[in-house]
């Protein structure tokens, strides 16, 4: 994730160089993402930020999931990035490794808008979660 997302933005030059080097059909883009919420929200499963534009949407995170980019995970982003890769690998960072259930709203967003196949990782606690994904 950190190579393509540089200084909080998509580095189109780096992304294009990857596509040229290995080809779109061999590229899987990692979209590790975390929900941004307003400071003061009592939720324990999300991370607060102080950027002033927090709206509860998912954003790509880098640097071991600690640094928010300015790139939202939404229809526009998925459509743009989908033109450069064969698949997305999406980590629902809030639930990754916790076996507390999937981020259903994120999975629904991915299913609705991704133009390429998606592998989702994050929070699966049982076969029921896998069936929903």
pLDDT digits (tens, 9 = 90+) for 50-107: 333 456 799 999 988 778 899 999 999 999 999 999 999 998 888 676 666 678 889 8
Distance, CA of 58 to CA of 114 (rounded, Å): 14
pLDDT at 99: 64
Inter-residue contact 129 to 101 (CB < 8 Å)? yes
Q: Which of 26-35, 89-98, 123-132 bottoms out in mean pLDDT, i.e. has the lowest? A: 123-132
Distance, CA of 39 to CA of 42 (rounded, Å): 9
pLDDT exceeds 50 at position 120: yes
Distance, CA of 98 to CA of 46 (rounded, Å): 13
The pTM of this model reads 0.79
Strands (E) in 13-117, as ranges, are: 28-37, 47-48, 58-62, 67-72, 87-92
Residue matched to tokens 């069936």: 131
Residue 40: band (very low, low, confident or very high) from pLDDT cuts 50, 70, 90: low
**Which position has the higher pLDDT, 14 or 1?**
14
Percentage, residues of the chain above pLDDT 90: 49
pLDDT exceeds 70 at position 4: yes
């Amino acid at each position: 994730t950190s190579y393509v997302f540089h200084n909080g933005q998509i580095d189109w030059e780096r992304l294009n160089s990857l596509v040229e080097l290995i080809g779109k059909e061999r590229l899987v883009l990692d979209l590790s993402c975390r929900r941004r919420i307003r400071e003061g929200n009592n939720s324990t499963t999300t991370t607060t930020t102080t950027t002033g534009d927090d709206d509860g949407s998912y954003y790509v995170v880098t640097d071991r999931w600690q640094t928010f980019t300015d790139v939202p995970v939404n229809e526009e982003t998925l459509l743009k990035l989908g033109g450069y890769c064969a698949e997305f690998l999406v980590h629902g960072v809030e639930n990754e490794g916790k076996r507390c259930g999937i981020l259903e709203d994120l999975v629904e967003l991915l299913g609705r808008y991704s133009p390429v196949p998606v592998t989702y990782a994050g929070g699966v606690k049982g076969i029921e979660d896998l069936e929903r994904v």
